[in-house]
């Protein structure tokens, strides 16, 4: 199932239930090789996972794909993600010239449940503030009968930037955040070569 959404309006829903989520960044091409679930994707800002002695697994920082996507500044660009394992939550998209300039994970509010303390909500920037392009995307709290894909368009600022980093973060509600690497988010990035449209003003926020 694919749902196409024009990402210009913010939609926020109450978020409840479920287990560990995973997602695959389909478009633009991801900066790290992803398996069928989208792993490795836990460590900010762009993925990877730490060693898990309890499971006997080694650290996996991820294997670079070398993929670079050419984009024209001042245009809308397609975004496609597939949620390989369902979890209630939403997505955020940010763009920076380097990974060091990407924003930290959103601040999360937690609260007690009958299964212990779990995430309830995350701060959503509305309107978005650079380097965040869009926030509160694809909010969902109902388990689909099949794997869910989300499709939309993101506004690319009119800039010249070779090797810009586009980050897609998934926030998980109703999550304990106590696994290896902790936190309530999954992360993927894509590398973009952005060429400004000379007929439009340069966006000085980046």
What is the structure's pLDDT at 146?
A: 79
| Domain limits, the chain | 2-51+59-195
What is the structure's pLDDT at 181?
A: 83
Q: What is the CATH number of domain 2-51+59-195?
A: 2.70.50
Strand partners of residue 148: 83
Q: What is the pLDDT of residues 133-188, one digit of tens each?
A: 999 999 887 787 778 899 999 999 999 999 999 999 998 877 678 777 878 899 99
What is the structure's pLDDT at 109?
A: 84
Residues 116/54, Cβ–Cβ less than 8 Å: no
Q: The whole model's pTM is what?
A: 0.86
What is the structure's pLDDT at 5?
A: 39
Closest alpha carbon to 25 in 47, 6, 43: 47
Rounded Cα–Cα distance for residues 72 and 200 (Å): 11
Strand partners of residue 170: 91, 186
Rounded Cα–Cα distance for residues 3 and 36 (Å): 20
Tens of pLDDT along the chain (206 residues) come to 444 434 433 333 333 333 456 899 999 999 999 999 888 989 999 999 999 888 888 999 999 999 999 999 999 999 999 998 778 889 999 999 999 999 999 998 888 888 888 878 889 999 999 999 999 999 887 787 778 899 999 999 999 999 999 999 998 877 678 777 878 899 999 999 999 999 999 999 99
Decide the pairing of beta strands 148-155 and 2-6. parallel
């Amino acid at each position: 199932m694919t749902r196409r959404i024009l990402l210009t309006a913010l939609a926020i829903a109450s978020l409840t239930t479920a287990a560990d989520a995973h997602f695959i960044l389909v478009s633009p091409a991801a900066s790290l090789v992803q398996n069928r679930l989208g792993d490795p994707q836990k460590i900010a800002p762009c993925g990877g996972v730490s060693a898990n002695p309890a499971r006997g697994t080694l650290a996996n920082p991820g294997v670079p794909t070398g993929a670079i996507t050419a984009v024209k500044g001042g245009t809308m660009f397609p975004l496609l993600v597939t949620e390989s394992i369902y979890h209630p939550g939403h997505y955020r998209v940010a763009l920076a010239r380097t990974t060091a300039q990407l924003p930290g994970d959103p601040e999360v509010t937690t609260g007690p449940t009958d299964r212990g303390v779990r995430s309830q909500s995350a701060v959503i920037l509305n309107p978005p503030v650079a380097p965040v392009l869009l926030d509160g995307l694809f909010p969902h709290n109902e388990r689909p009968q099949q794997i869910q894909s989300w499709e939309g368009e993101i506004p690319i600022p009119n800039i010249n930037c070779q090797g810009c980093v586009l980050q897609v973060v998934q926030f998980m509600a109703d999550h304990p955040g106590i696994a290896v690497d902790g936190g309530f988010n999954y992360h993927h990035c894509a590398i973009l070569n952005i060429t400004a449209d000379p007929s439009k003003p340069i966006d000085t926020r980046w």
